[in-house]
């Protein structure tokens, strides 16, 4: 269902687009790419130049290469368009993400390494949806592969090892350990006596 119609006439001034894509690599790692653009609907001056209506004031990319545990193995950051000539000079600092894991504490660790004058506001903001995309790309794929592997073991008469606790439990009302989804999908992690 779309938003309700606005209650006043309006004029569009700014459009931000964020696109994130997850890739499975042939070497067993994962690439998660984020792309952000900002455009204005009018001409304006910035850093001694005119930015024309519709041209990007920001166009930036970031790629995180991750392993199955969502640990950053490599980073690529690029600034194609920015309001100031010096903006692209900070992209090298994003190498500080190598070794971090997208897990509890990710946002704080990113801010510690790239917050304030140590980073670019827009690339740092882009890391939020990139992290979500990483989780959405990797976790369901690995879970499906695990289900297939377990089913094959059962079919062969083998007992599968215990499953690891899914990281999304208790992060959303749907994933509440005392709710019906967890009771159905992961009964061994459901709150006892509920669900």
Domain map (residue ranges) of the chain = 14-140, 164-195
Phi, psi of 10 (to 5 degrees): -150, 165
- Torsion sign over Cα 184, 188, 192, 193: positive
Stretches in the chain below the pLDDT threshold 50: 194-195
Query: Nearest CA to 56 among 44, 71, 65?
Result: 44
Q: What is the pLDDT of residue 162?
A: 86
Q: What is the pLDDT of residue 195?
A: 43
Q: What is the pLDDT of residue 193?
A: 55
Distance CA 117, CA 115 (A): 6
Distance CA 127, CA 72 (A): 12
Q: What is the pLDDT of residue 79?
A: 97
Q: What is the pLDDT of residue 161?
A: 87
Encoded tokens for 2: 């779309």
Instruction: Give the burial class of 126: count Cβ atoms within 10 A of its Cβ; 0-12 exposed, 13-18 middle, 19 or more buried.
Output: buried
Distance CA 87, CA 94 (A): 13
Distance CA 141, CA 70 (A): 13
Query: Nearest CA to 65 among 96, 107, 28, 32?
Result: 32
Distance CA 128, CA 132 (A): 6
């Amino acid at each position: 269902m779309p938003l309700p119609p606005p209650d006043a006439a309006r004029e569009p001034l700014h459009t931000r687009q964020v696109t994130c894509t997850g890739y499975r690599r042939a070497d067993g790692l994962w690439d998660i790419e984020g792309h952000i653009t900002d455009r204005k609907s009018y001409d304006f001056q910035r850093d001694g130049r005119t930015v024309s209506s519709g041209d990007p004031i920001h166009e930036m990319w970031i790629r995180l290469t991750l392993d199955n545990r969502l640990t950053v193995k490599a980073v690529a950051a690029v600034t194609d368009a920015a309001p100031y000539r010096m903006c692209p000079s900070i992209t090298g600092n994003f190498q500080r993400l190598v070794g971090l894991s997208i897990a509890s504490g990710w946002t704080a660790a990113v801010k510690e390494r790239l917050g304030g004058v140590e980073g670019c506001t827009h690339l740092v903001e882009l890391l939020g949806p990139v992290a979500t995309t990483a989780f959405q790309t990797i976790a369901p794929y690995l879970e499906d592969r695990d289900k297939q592997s377990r089913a094959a073991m059962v079919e062969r008469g083998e007992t599968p090892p215990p499953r690891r606790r899914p990281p999304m439990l208790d992060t959303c009302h749907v994933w509440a350990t005392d709710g019906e989804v967890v009771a159905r999908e992961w009964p061994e992690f459901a709150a006892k006596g509920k669900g």
